[in-house]
Structure 1
Amino acid sequence: MHHLDITGEYIVLNDKKMLNNIGVQVVIAMIIGTIVGIIMGHDAVMFAPLGSLFIHLIKMLVIPLVAVAIISGAASLGNSHAAGKIGVTTLAFFGITSAFAVTLALMMGIIFQPGVGVDLSGVAGMFANTYADKGSLPTFWATILGMIPTNIFHSLNEANILQILVFCLFFGIALSKLEVERRQPLINGINAIVDAMVWMINVVMKFAPIGVFGLMADAIGSFGFSALTVVLKLFVVYVAAILIYGFIGYPIMIKLFSKTSPRKFLSAMKKPQAVALSTASSMATLPVTMETCEEELGVKNSTASFVLPLGATINMSGNAIYYGLVAIFFAQIFNIELGMSAYIAIIVTSTIGAIGQAGVPGPSFLVVAVLLSAGIPIEGLPLLFALDRIFDMIRTALNITGDAACAVIIDSIYDNQEQPIAVQS
């Protein structure tokens, strides 16, 4: 008996040489894009459409892929006694690791003080207070009601990830409750759609280096290193926190809670991390993450197709680190003493905000809510939004590492539970 790999034949991605080449090409494209941005300055904006084209191609495919992958995963797990436990454990893992991530960020910010002694004279013109209306976090009931779609087609049209997630989980579980002869043809059809979507994403990924070149040239050319030098210390501390959590934190969890070797885990994650860096999107990286977890880390298809789309939607430890460090950064710039209540507010708001952040690239306005929760001025945020693409690429690599770590751990914990239904081939 063989569980069908819903993530398809991987015409491009199963070719190890091709994947390695894509990773190398992406790094070269980032370097060339940075150099072109420095040399051409604002004229480098002419390359922006290359990046926009790449991101648009990804966004075109991501929502339908996520929808059908979640239905398939939920249908596979639905008849297992462990299904409820897997769901609860997955959510608990994402919430706890996000809280740990922002706590690490606060500690790093307090120790290394990235906002102390920063000279803002050269970038004062970038300060604005136009984001104050974007900082409100919804109430508990507003959040719950906001997750439930009143029209799933409208949710799909608006790319409301959480509403799509709720409906597809519910629909997938409902499928699993039908008689085998009725559900199996439909599950086979859904898996075929996933295979086709993955093939399309694999083709789009061939254009990743061109897109990355355009994105980097535009980002560096538009804002230059003058903006980066102002936040250089923040950037260095941020990268250090990401590396600590990604290369020490998650491997320790893998060692403690799974049967997988941390060294094997880190080695396997090089491929999805390269794609995450290039796309700055957990969703776009999802097919590669699934392929890596199933083929190289031995995660069951039913677990991977449930945990990983869920993680790509709500697991954002990298974002949590970003929120925490930015809060400390601006508090230090404006000489604001933060008390314990402010730190708790930052941790809670960052964790909730990280879970609510959709897994697609773009400026994260949830950082506004984090700053407002601790009474920190938000005028300096345009300075960071200008560089958000660079921050986003790095935090996405950590986010998908956390998704994979969760899948490996969940698969190990529930390995001896009743086998869920699966499509046979």
Structure 2
Amino acid sequence: MPASPALFRRPGLVAQIVIGLVAGIVLALLSPRAGAAVGLLGTIFVSALKAVAPVLVLVLVAASVATHRHGEKTGIKPVLALYLVGTVLAALIGVAASFMFPTVLDLRAPAEASLAPPGGIGEVLRTLVLKIFDNPVNALVQGNYIGLLAWGAGLGFALRHATEGTRQALADLATAITWLVRLVIRLAPLGVFGIVASVLAESGLGALQAYAQLLGVLVGAMLFVALVANPLIVFAVTRRNPYPLVLTCLRESGITAFFTRSSAANIPVNLELCRKLGLDEETYSIAIPLGATINMAGAAITISVLSLAAVHTLGIPVDLPTALLLSVVAAIGACGASGVPGGSLLLIPLACGLFGISDDIAMQVVAIGFIVGVVQDSAETALNSSTDVVFVAAVSRREADRASAG
């Protein structure tokens, strides 16, 4: 009996990524030197995503605003509301997990003197505001997505008064760049293969054993947000079963973000996922880049858990009002965390300052954060990035339901 043609079909992208993951693990175990060598593939993949993402955001936002029809709803406000609710709720969950499973650290790790954490919430917010008025060329080079959103929106509003041909040319440019993005995303299996092989070959997982409980609290809180808190928020918005959407986003966006460890690098992946889900382009073209900057549930958990680990280690008593204040500070600070690997760790000294913990001790906690970052930062980015699409899709589906009902 002839074999089914389906047996020989090319597997989907997610299946190819899983194959790359397994192949990377096998190569690192069999030959660590070869595993380190193929790390170049991962570097090329992440670099390609980071290179194309800023241009994509600038052009896509400008095209969306320029071609927007007056009176048409974009759904940005409700998405922003969900970003805020989700980040604060994640911080509260991180605080609760830290009190349920208090962690004590060995603070003999050397402080990282070269790092410069912000001095307070005011400095974080000031930096965010200044990013809006950044030079557009510098914003492209530095990957400043707040600045790119501002410039894209400004160009879009200005081009609303341009000729139809000009606006169509801008839309065609956005389509061309989107095509390039899809081409880069097709390289994800090779990229994941290189990243996994090099990480396991160079650092291994043995260094994480001493911090098993800390990692358990961090990853456990993130899983709770992804599989319990986010579905509850989606259900409250859509009144539908949230798990098909949540699991799709974790599979299509979370897996890639787990390995790239950069919300900014995962912007093209999320935009493509939104397109596949049939969401409103005028909403997701703005909401996704914005979410990569301010929707930081995983970062809020990291800041809360690691700060309270230092508190428990030093035996500092914490009352309920202070714990709630920490949640707010962690949520606000997370919004200022950069969309690059380890961005949330530099906000830990800010949160530790609430309890009078010195910068010297706080930076030792940051150093521990970098040690566990092999897993923590990957899980954090997967939660941050997949949640962007979850919330945008929830709002888009609610608006679609209301339109069909009306």
Q: TM-score, normalised by structure 1?
A: 0.80
Q: Give the whole-Å Cα distance in 1 for the aligned partners of 2:28 and 2:301.
A: 25
Written as runs of structure 1 = structure 2, the 5 A alignment for 1:306-345 is 306-340=286-320, 342-345=322-325
**1:245–1:416 Cα change, 3 Å:** closer
Deviation track 1:123-172 (CA, whole Å, cap 9, x = no partner) reads: 94x42152673232352773464133253223223322222222222332
Q: Give the whole-Å Cα distance in 1 for the aligned partners of 2:350 and 2:67.
A: 37
Matched-pair contact (CA < 8 Å) for 2:294–2:335: yes
User: What displacement does 1:404 show?
Assistant: 1.5
**1:221–1:369 Cα change, 3 Å:** farther
Matched-pair contact (CA < 8 Å) for 1:276–1:397: yes
Matched-pair contact (CA < 8 Å) for 1:316–1:399: yes
User: What displacement does 1:265 show?
Assistant: 0.7
Comparing 23-32 with 61-70, greater Cα deviation is found at 23-32
Matched, 1:156 2:140: yes
Deviation track 1:58-97 (CA, whole Å, cap 9, x = no partner) reads: 21111111212222333455723645xx333332221221
**1:145–1:135 Cα change, 3 Å:** closer
Aligned-partner residue type, residue 406 of structure 1: F
Partner secondary structure for residue 231 of structure 1: helix
Comparing 23-32 with 267-276, greater Cα deviation is found at 23-32
Matched-pair contact (CA < 8 Å) for 1:315–1:399: yes
The equivalent of 1:188 in structure 2 is: 168
The equivalent of 1:134 in structure 2 is: 117
**1:353–1:70 Cα change, 3 Å:** farther
The equivalent of 1:98 in structure 2 is: 87
1:295 to 254, 276, 298: 276
Q: Give the whole-Å Cα distance in 2 for the aligned partners of 1:171 and 1:26.
A: 40
Q: Number of residue pairs matched?
A: 389
Q: Give the whole-Å Cα distance in 1 for the aligned partners of 2:283 and 2:10.
A: 24
The equivalent of 2:230 in structure 1 is: 250
Matched-pair contact (CA < 8 Å) for 1:67–1:165: yes
1:18 to 12, 15, 19: 12
Q: Give the whole-Å Cα distance in 2 for the aligned partners of 1:300 and 1:70.
A: 13
User: What displacement does 1:245 show?
Assistant: 1.0
Matched-pair contact (CA < 8 Å) for 2:128–2:336: no
Matched, 1:211 2:191: yes
The equivalent of 1:7 in structure 2 is: none
User: What displacement does 1:362 show?
Assistant: 4.3
Aligned-partner residue type, residue 212 of structure 2: L
User: What displacement does 1:370 show?
Assistant: 2.5
Q: Give the whole-Å Cα distance in 1 for the aligned partners of 2:117 and 2:129.
A: 19
Comparing 132-141 with 344-353, greater Cα deviation is found at 132-141
2:78 to 78, 82, 89: 89
> Any stretches of 5+ residues in structure 1 without a counterpart?
1-14, 420-425
Q: Give the whole-Å Cα distance in 1 for the aligned partners of 2:128 and 2:13.
A: 40
Matched-pair contact (CA < 8 Å) for 2:261–2:381: yes
1:55 to 24, 46, 67: 46
User: What displacement does 1:257 show?
Assistant: 0.8
User: What displacement does 1:321 show?
Assistant: 1.3
Quick one: percent identity of the two aligned structures? 23
The equivalent of 1:4 in structure 2 is: none
Aligned-partner residue type, residue 182 of structure 2: N
Matched-pair contact (CA < 8 Å) for 1:61–1:201: yes
**1:29–1:61 Cα change, 3 Å:** farther
The equivalent of 2:380 in structure 1 is: 395
Partner secondary structure for residue 109 of structure 1: helix
The equivalent of 1:367 in structure 2 is: 348
Matched, 1:198 2:178: yes
Q: Give the whole-Å Cα distance in 1 for the aligned partners of 2:17 and 2:169.
A: 32
Q: Give the whole-Å Cα distance in 2 for the aligned partners of 1:24 and 1:382.
A: 31
The equivalent of 1:168 in structure 2 is: 152
Q: TM-score, normalised by structure 2?
A: 0.83
Matched-pair contact (CA < 8 Å) for 1:147–1:162: yes
The equivalent of 2:6 in structure 1 is: none
Comparing 205-214 with 240-249, greater Cα deviation is found at 205-214
Deviation track 1:186-236 (CA, whole Å, cap 9, x = no partner) reads: 343333333333332333334334433443344444444343012111112
1:70 to 46, 53, 61: 61
> Any stretches of 5+ residues in structure 2 without a counterpart?
1-8
Q: Give the whole-Å Cα distance in 1 for the aligned partners of 2:341 and 2:174.
A: 22
**1:226–1:105 Cα change, 3 Å:** same
